[in-house]
A and B are shown apart, each in its own frame.
Chain A
């Protein structure tokens, strides 16, 4: 059963990621991105990281993809579509790099998997308690710094989107 679920969700994730990357329209890509992230959350659940699965759905499938969709629709990319030119060296180099990386990844299957089996741990609730306890004791400083980082990002975004309104010449040309 677990095997079936693992193969189901990992194939869903990989296929939608591939569709997202290769799709011609960015909006469809963002939709496939949601599917890929939900599949990833399911893989997190199979790994018994329930809190991270919830965070994955809330932050990635919720906030990040909505932000992407918002920007894609705001910029309206299809209106100023350029003629499609194929740069042969770029394509050959990209596909070669992809093939090399894939072969390197598939080589993992060559190693023995008998030593890498999952050991059943204690109950799920105590895992979450451990998570919270570590987060607020050992990693307290990192927690504070990441909160501060979010504040800095917020201020940065506000400044970035304000500055462009008052830029010189470039705006008057249009």
Chain B
């Protein structure tokens, strides 16, 4: 049987991949995508915890509901974030973070 550890490992590896993307890439859009992977990794860990803590007489649904709200907030976040990126592109004509250095000292 698959235990909780396997799911947590997959969630952690997915978080690491998203983390690597945010650090390594210079394209703001790809960084934003990596951010979504990190959120999704947290979702997977929450669902796994919720499922493995369930017993026969008590279905623990709180973790699942938490994930539902996280997905809602993530959808709102993507809409606002992409609107900000488009506004940024209209002003600076670039989305590369190494060119967006107006606040740099």
Cα distance, A119 to B50, chains bound together (Å): 12
How far apart sit A86 and B37, CA to CA, in the bound complex (Å)?
A: 24
Known: A64-B78, A68-B29, A105-B12. A117 touches B1 (CB 8 A): yes
A26, B29: Cβ atoms closer than 8 Å: yes
> Which of under 10, 10 to 19, 20 to 34, or 35 or more describes the interface residues of B?
35 or more
Whether B2 contacts A44 by the Cβ 8 Å rule is no
Q: Tally A-B pairs: CB < 8 A.
A: 237
User: How many residues of A are in contact with the other chain, CB < 8 A?
Assistant: 91
Q: Using Cβ atoms and an 8 Å threshold, which residues of chain A touch B2?
A: 2-3, 6, 46, 118
Chain A nearest CB, measured from B100 CB (Å): 12
Given contacts A74-B86, A116-B3, A161-B86, contact A121 B68 (CB under 8 A): no
Are the CB atoms of A109 and B9 closer together than 8 Å?
yes
Partner among B13, B34, B71, B99 whose Cβ is within 8 Å of the Cβ of A56: B71
Q: Which residue in A2, A14, A44, A91 is a CB contact (below 8 Å) of B14?
A: A14
